Copies of this chain bind each other. A is one copy, B any other.
Amino acid sequence: MDKNLNIPPSGVRGLAKILLLDDHFMVLEGLKSILTQSADIEIIATAVNAFDAHVLLKKHPEINLVLTDINLPDVSGIEFCAKVKKEFPHIQVIGISTFKQRSYVSQMMQNGASGYVVKSANAEEIIFAIREVLNGKFYFSSEINTAENIILPDSAPALTRREKEILSLIAQGLTNNDIAEKLFLSPYTVDTHRKNLLFKFEVANTAQLIKKATEVGLV
């Protein structure tokens, strides 16, 4: 890894024009101060929510890279990533997250992200990741590829929209009947979805379901 971070290695095409998205001001500030060290990186805009970020992307068509937190309060970083890649296919996306949320990584990939960096990464690693991604490569924080993570891809099972919706309502304490009423469905239907959730999470009851779901950040 290059020690002279402010001197971009040859072969890198153009400037990185970046939008930062993270709901924590401190992380935003940290990234800003890390990235402005590098001469080939320019922070065009920063946002604390997905909506603002979207507006800013339309306003600044020169942006070619988005660095986004995976866990956002409103929309998830995964959904945001999918949206960006659909609307602005030329923009590369790198996810940021804490170590624990590793289970999202594969989902990020499926939605077009090119990289993933943990929040405990240092300046060199982040800048390296940005350069790699802008050169069309992928970059993933080394923590992601440890034995633990390969052996235990305990990751979040792929849920359908309906399943996510019902899972969230279960977590809020609604019963099958409550949910059926709320979503204008038959209680039988809700129960079927619940069964599928238990199956997908490989658990036997609601207690385990909610525990696993919160562990992987799906609730």
Q: Give residues in A with beta carbon < 8 Å to B.
A: 23-34, 48, 96, 98, 119-123, 126, 170-173, 175, 203-211, 214-215, 219
Contacts and interface: CB of A to CB of B under 8 A. Distances in A.
A142 B30 CA distance: 22
A27 B25 contact: no
14 contacts: A23-B120, A24-B27, A24-B120, A25-B120, A25-B122, A26-B26, A26-B30, A27-B119, A171-B207, A172-B211, A173-B207, A173-B211, A205-B206, A206-B206
A80 B219 CA distance: 29
A172 B205 CA distance: 9
A119 B28 CA distance: 10
B26 A31 contact: yes
Q: How many copies does the complex hold?
A: 2
Which residue, of A98, A175, A207, has the highest number of chain B Cβ atoms within 10 A?
A207
Given A207-B171, A211-B171, A214-B211, A29 B25 contact: no
Contacts of A211: 171-173, 210, 214, 219
A212 to B, nearest CB: 9
Given A30-B32, A206-B206, 18 more contacts: A24-B27, A24-B119, A25-B119, A25-B120, A26-B30, A26-B31, A26-B126, A28-B30, A29-B29, A29-B30, A30-B33, A32-B33, A33-B33, A171-B207, A173-B207, A206-B210, A210-B210, A210-B214
B32 A208 contact: no
Nearest to A214: B214
A215 B204 CA distance: 22
B214 A173 contact: no
A113 to B, nearest CB: 18
Q: What 6 pairs between A and B have smallest CB-CB spacing? A: A30-B30, A29-B30, A173-B208, A33-B33, A26-B30, A24-B119
Nearest to A35: B29
Nearest to A175: B205
